[in-house]
Amino acid sequence: MVLLTEPLAPSTVEALGEEVEVRHCDGTDRAALLGALPAAAAVIVRGSTRIDAEALAAAPLLRVVARAGISLAGVDVRAATQQGVMVVNAPAANVVSAAELAIGLLLAAARHISPAHARLRAGQWERAPFTGIELYGKTVGVLGLGRVGVLVAQRLAAFGMRVVAHDPFVQAGRAAQLGVRLLPLEELMATADVVSVHLPRTPETEAMIGAAELALARPHLVLVNVARGGIVDETALYEALRSGRVAAAGLDVYETEPCTDSPLLGLDNVVATPHLGATTHEAQEKAGLAAARSVRQALAGDLVPDAVNVQGGPIAEEVRPGIGLTERLGRVFTALAGGAVQQLDVEVRGEITEHDVTVLELAALKGAFADVVGEPVSYVNAPLLAAERGTAVRLLTESESPDHRNLVTLRGTLPDGRRVSVAGTLVGLAQRERLVEVNGFDVDLEPTDHLAFLEYEDRPGKVGAIGVLLGEAGVNIAGMQVARDQRGGRALVAMSVDSAVPADVLDRIAEAIGAGDVSGVDLTSGAP
């Protein structure tokens, strides 16, 4: 049962699917909430419901809490983690709305739209006091090149503005791709005509823009904050606005909310809104749909990219395409190993190591155990299954990748000392999956649903024998790679086939060519 504790768009319920039982309760009614939670496998909340330790204790069947929004206020993530409950949010749902509001506040502040509107409504036709500035040709400083910051930078570049930014966690190469020049904070504050804040509120960003930083600003500076209150010191900003050190400000967030009595609200050169960044029909619908999608994934045991307490945080867009590839590599690895391994190393090389790739370790484990245990394997229980079976797991990362832009390799040691390895990468604009190494042999093969691998001594006629026996069995070869360590040495045939190779056919092939290691892989939804 999925419990909805606050009003959500009808599309949210539709996205959960007809097979899911949905119940509603008033999350602000504590007794009603606690009474409804015992039967809930999932709960979807917005901003008014408290899912704390008491609520979690009342929900023994609960597997996931989904917040239809970016904030996790009201959800005790630590308590949920201790109870084994996944917590997810919708971090991308409001990014467009927030970026557009930032642009709107910037234009309103730069052109004095709010006070001019108020004066006209009061019956006064005045123009001279509201002379504004053009954005064209000016410099905008974007603090934080996350999703919203990037959207703002792109939109203001279209206004003909020069874009500079400050973000210690963004590489210069990535900024260059965006057409943005990175600057130290002090230089940005002294250079920019407009500053737009798009940072999370953390101990490092608390009061990041204070009196010292504002003292560096040009006297015509326009400052916009739609990110989080507390990043800009409101007392220092008030003094800078009152004295003319800062020309205008557009604010959507405040140190303490709700906020109705800040002295900033009394200044004509401040345009203020009551935290409206996510308050659009589109953002609310996206948040509800994202929450519903995450709930379905969590209940199915699949990866939930927006989980905040499973793989360590949100997954970078650059990492996500590798998740499916790594899970497939895990299944191929297990087929090659033919049993449990004592040690599994998940090695990730290339550009994606600039990001958190912990999720690829989970994907490898999920794939490795998917076909060898009776219970459903998920990204949540895969590490527990490994620990129960005595498999030690290591995640290794290396930024250098000589042969491929990014490369994922799984290596393991069996109890008998035999080593098994398989590697894959993504190629082209379509990010197509490719197997590029199997047990030390270089290959180039699409990891289709049906694969077969045979190791044998390199002798003439053996590849032909393989084709004959598969033809007799009615198995069509879709692709074949032959690799060897040296002439007359060990060789590997790696094949993709249109249907699974029956075990008895593999046995006949192994006998015919004297193969030492033979593995068939079935990556369809059933067992191998």
Q: Which domain holds residue 44?
A: 2-92+282-300
Q: Does residue 192 register a pLDDT over 80?
A: yes
- How does pLDDT run across 404-446, given as a tens digit for each residue? 999 999 999 876 778 899 999 999 888 999 999 999 999 999 9
Same domain, 321 and 177: no
Q: Which of 21, 126, 134, 257 is catalytic?
A: 257
In the chain, % of residues over pLDDT 70? 95
Q: Residue 428 and residue 431: Cα distance in Å, rounded?
A: 5
Q: Residue 95 and residue 98: Cα distance in Å, rounded?
A: 5
Segment 12-22 mean pLDDT: 91
Contact 439, 336 (CB under 8 A): yes
Judge whether 500 lies within some domain: yes
Q: Residue 445 and residue 402: Cα distance in Å, rounded?
A: 19
281 included as an active-site residue: no
CA distances to 26, 132, 133, 352 from 163, rounded to whole Å, are 46, 20, 17, 26
Same domain, 157 and 249: yes
Candidate from 119-133, 145-159, 355-369 with smallest mean pLDDT = 355-369
Of 430, 445, 460, which one is at a domain's C-terminal end? 445
Contact 373, 379 (CB under 8 A): no
DSSP-assigned beta bridge partners for residue 181: 164
Check residue 312 and give its pLDDT.
47
Closest CA to 249 of 171, 320, 195, 189: 195
Same domain, 138 and 265: yes
Query: Who contacts 145 (Cβ-Cβ below 8 Å, separation ≥6)?
Result: 153, 165, 167, 170, 174, 175, 178, 180, 198
Same domain, 33 and 108: no
Check residue 310 and give its pLDDT.
63
Ordered strands of the 419-427 beta sheet: 392-398, 343-350, 406-413, 419-427, 432-438, 441-445
Is the backbone peptide bond immediately before 402 cis, with ω within 30 degrees of 0? no
The pTM score is 0.62
- Write out the H or E segment, with its range, that includes residue 520: strand 517-522
Judge whether 277 lies within some domain: no
Segment 72-81 mean pLDDT: 83
Candidate from 114-128, 205-219, 232-246, 295-309 with smallest mean pLDDT = 295-309
Q: Does residue 284 register a pLDDT over 80?
A: yes
Judge whether 338 lies within some domain: yes
Segment 335-352 mean pLDDT: 87
Check residue 81 and give its pLDDT.
73
Judge whether 310 lies within some domain: no
Highest mean pLDDT, choosing among 269-278, 363-372, 498-507? 269-278
Same domain, 26 and 78: yes
Judge whether 211 lies within some domain: yes
Same domain, 363 and 481: no
Segment 383-388 mean pLDDT: 74
Q: Which residue has the higher pLDDT, 476 or 342?
A: 476
Q: What value does the mean pLDDT of the chain take?
A: 89
DSSP character string of 428-478: TTTTEEEEEEETTEEEEE---SEEEEEEEE--TTHHHHHHHHHHHTTPPEE
- How does pLDDT run across 156-176, given as a tens digit for each residue? 999 999 999 998 767 677 788
Judge whether 8 lies within some domain: yes
Same domain, 127 and 235: yes
Q: Does residue 376 register a pLDDT over 60?
A: no
What b/e sequence results for 223-257 when a residue is b if at least 16 CB atoms lie within 10 Å of its CB, and e otherwise?
bbbbbbbbbbbbebbbebbeeebbbbbbbbbbbee
Q: Residue 187 and residue 182: Cα distance in Å, rounded?
A: 10
3-state secondary structure 212-253: HHHHCCCCCCEEEECCCCCCECHHHHHHHHHHCCCCEEEECC
Domain count, the chain: 4
DSSP state for residue 51 in the 8-state scheme: B
Same domain, 425 and 321: yes
Same domain, 410 and 481: no
Q: Which of 218, 220, 275, 508 is catalytic?
A: 275
Judge whether 307 lies within some domain: no
Check residue 486 and give its pLDDT.
80
3-state secondary structure of 513: helix
Check residue 351 and give its pLDDT.
93
Contact 252, 259 (CB under 8 A): no
* CATH at 387: 3.30.1330.90
Candidate from 29-38, 70-79, 119-128, 427-436 with smallest mean pLDDT = 70-79
Contact 394, 346 (CB under 8 A): yes
Q: Does residue 294 register a pLDDT over 70?
A: yes
Check residue 241 and give its pLDDT.
97
Q: What Rg do the C-alpha atoms of the chain give, in angstroms?
A: 29
Check residue 112 and give its pLDDT.
95
Closest CA to 269 of 248, 239, 246: 248
457 included as an active-site residue: no
Check residue 413 and give its pLDDT.
84
Check residue 523 and give its pLDDT.
82
Same domain, 401 and 492: no
Check residue 388 and give its pLDDT.
62
Q: Which phi and psi angles does 359 have, rounded to 5°? A: -60, -25
Check residue 128 and give its pLDDT.
92
Q: Residue 24 burial (CB < 10 Å; 0-12/13-18/19+)?
A: middle
Q: Which of 46, 228, 293, 411 is catalytic?
A: 228
Candidate from 303-307, 340-344, 385-389 with smallest mean pLDDT = 385-389
Contact 23, 3 (CB under 8 A): yes
- How does pLDDT run across 95-104, given as a tens digit for each residue? 999 999 999 9
Same domain, 439 and 463: no
Same domain, 129 and 9: no
218 included as an active-site residue: no
* CATH at 510: 3.30.70.260
* CATH at 22: 3.40.50.720
DSSP state for residue 75 in the 8-state scheme: B
- Write out the H or E segment, with its range, that includes residue 506: helix 503-513
Stated length of the chain: 528
Residue 81 falls in which region: left (phi positive, over 0), alpha (psi -120 to 50) or beta: alpha
Contact 407, 442 (CB under 8 A): no
Q: Does residue 25 register a pLDDT over 90?
A: yes
Q: Residue 200 and residue 197: Cα distance in Å, rounded?
A: 9
Instruction: Describe the crossing of helices 503-513 and 462-472 by its angle, rounded to 10 degrees.
Output: 150
